[in-house]
Structure 1
Amino acid sequence: MSPVDQTLQPAWLLHRRPFRNTSLIVELFLPRLGRIGAVVRGGRKDPSLSPFRPLLVELKPSGEMYSLRGCEPRGQTLQLQGKGLYCGFYVNELLTRLLHRDDPHPDLWPLYEHTLAALCQGERLDVILRQFEMGLLEEMGYGINLGYDILGEPVRSDCYYQLDPEQGLLVAAQGYPGSDLLAMLNGDWQADTRRTARQLCRALLAPHLGDKPLKSRELFREK
């Protein structure tokens, strides 16, 4: 962990849970520190400690986590509504589940902020999520090349491909249509491409998420 830092830093709250009588343990995402855990004494009374509200925080290292010494809004709470709100919870849950604490990901910060802003528009939510998932996997070192198979051959629109999550795509008799993979690469999000992208991203994320279900996916089913 870094030394005591009394400078306010930009942050987003990913998750919060009660701690003792009036305190919280929060998961925060910062451009310089990545995902961190912090204890907030008396934090349950602070209305600014909520998801989708841009924050400025003051942190102090405290054992395996930080102590949040100060917090103030740096903007208005984003107006995520309906399915867009559930998508926001999903994005936060992915970061909480997949990022290691105290592992900086500065290039992921602008992608996260862009994703939240796009979700506020309420259009093509699935495409926004696929782009975030692919960017997150790439940042973590688990991305795949949609333009080439594992032998270095260009993906062909008239072929099908299976996925090896650790290596990439390989030609097969059936599987993901090459035409959809190339459409994803080129940002051509037709209906068939969107279905293929959803299946592919789920397969890529599955080894890293494990068997524990995502709570945000349960919200979608209940909706």
Structure 2
Amino acid sequence: MRLTAEPAFVLHARPWRETSLLVEVLSAGHGRVGLLARGVHGARRHPLRAALQPLQSIRFDAVWRGELARLTGAEAVDVAPRLSGEAAMSAFYLNELTLRLSPRQVPQPELFAAYALARERLRDGDPLGWTLRRFERDLLEALGVGFDLRFDGDGEPIDPAARYRLDPEHGPRRLLLDRGQADRAGAATGRALIALGEDRLPEGADLASLRRPIREVLAHHLGPRGLKSWEMLAALAGVVRAPPDAQAMPERDRS
């Protein structure tokens, strides 16, 4: 099968043999696709190499043979967002999460649209924490494992004043009032869940409360092997000692 002028975003690229690349893209019509790009080195091939950088929007031609497609051409659609610091780490996280959870060769139009939005929000400098939480929500929805954030797992309306854990199989679970402070500190506020479900930016502490519960859901679907971006952030936190109360920190975000 041939793919012609297929829109896609580049998720990852790594060297293969001496002159080639193995590239993973999220395509508009075929979901995640693995591409073999042969002979990408040399001055004349610089535009192709530039088009195959992570976060780049491209249109590509390929011939599908087995699990991988052989790339025959690709061109950049625009200029990829130029990011640094926390924004660059957030982009790495988005790409790794998409790469790990999206199945190969399964069309995911909702995920493609969600990725495109997150990419533009990174370009525009939107609050990183909010950009990541929205993408995580949309990713889970696109994969069919998201939640209706209007109700808890028992069908009761979310209480803005309560705190909730997110059960990967059953959705929000309300914490009892007698649970320990550590349990409550690691749970999302009802206000945050309602705001996320309505796509409305929560206040700082409420937004911060979403990070850990959503990560626990993602970890469930990822299985025993976590994300390199999480490991990198944990290592960074070990070098730069953070206050123990992460809720008090500005929600720039640490994915």
TM-score normalised to structure 1 length = 0.91
The 2-side partners of 1:70 and 1:21 are apart by 19
Corresponding residue of 1:4: 2
Q: Give the alignment partner of residue 10 of structure 2, picking from 5, 13, 17.
A: 13
- Counterpart among 197, 205, 216 of residue 218 in structure 2: 205
Q: 2:37 aligned with 1:40, yes or no?
A: yes
Secondary structure of 1:123's partner?
A: coil
Q: Which runs of 5+ in 2 are unaligned?
A: 43-48, 238-255
| Structure 1 counterpart of 2:157 | 154
3-state DSSP of counterpart to 1:97: helix
User: Amino acid of the residue matched to residue 205 of structure 1?
Assistant: L
Structure 2 vs 1, CA of residues 179 and 71 (structure 1 numbering), >3 Å: closer, same or farther? closer
What secondary structure, in the 3-state scheme, does the structure 2 residue paired with 1:135 have?
helix
Instruction: Say yes or no: does 1:184 pair with 2:187.
Output: no
Q: CA deviation at 1:44?
A: 4.4
Q: CA deviation at 1:53?
A: 2.0
Deviation track 1:138-183 (CA, whole Å, cap 9, x = no partner) reads 1101111211012211111233333321111233314433233223
- The answer to whether 1:94 aligns with 2:94 is no
- Provide the residue aligned with 1:26 in structure 2: 23
1:222 aligns with 2:236: yes
- Look up the SS of the partner of 1:43 in the other structure: coil
Structure 1 runs not aligned, ≥5 long: none
Compare 71-80 and 129-138 and name the one that shifted more.
71-80
Q: Decide which moves more: 72-81 or 194-203.
A: 72-81
> Distance in 2 between the 1:14 and 1:162 partners?
30
Contact map agreement 1:81 1:120 (CA 8 A) in 2: no
- Pick one of 61, 65, 71 that aligns with 2:64: 61
Counterparts of 1:58 and 1:113 in 2: how far apart (Å)? 20
Deviations 1:100-142 (CA, angstroms, capped at 9, x unpaired)? 1101101221211111111122231011000000000011011
User: How far does the alpha carbon of each residue in 1:75-115 deviate from its partner, in whole angstroms, 9 at most, with x for none?
Assistant: 12222222111111110001110011101101221211111
CA gap of 1:14–1:150, structure 2 versus 1, over 3 A, is same
**TM-score of the two chains, using structure 2 as the length reference:** 0.80
Distance 2:8 2:204 in 1: 35
Partner of 2:116: 113
Residues 17 and 24 in structure 1, CA contact (< 8 A), matched pair in contact too: yes
Kindly report the root-mean-square deviation, in angstroms, between the aligned alpha carbons of the 2 structures.
1.8
Q: 1:49 aligns with which of 33, 47, 52?
A: 52
Alpha-carbon distance in 2 for matches of 1:102, 1:74: 22
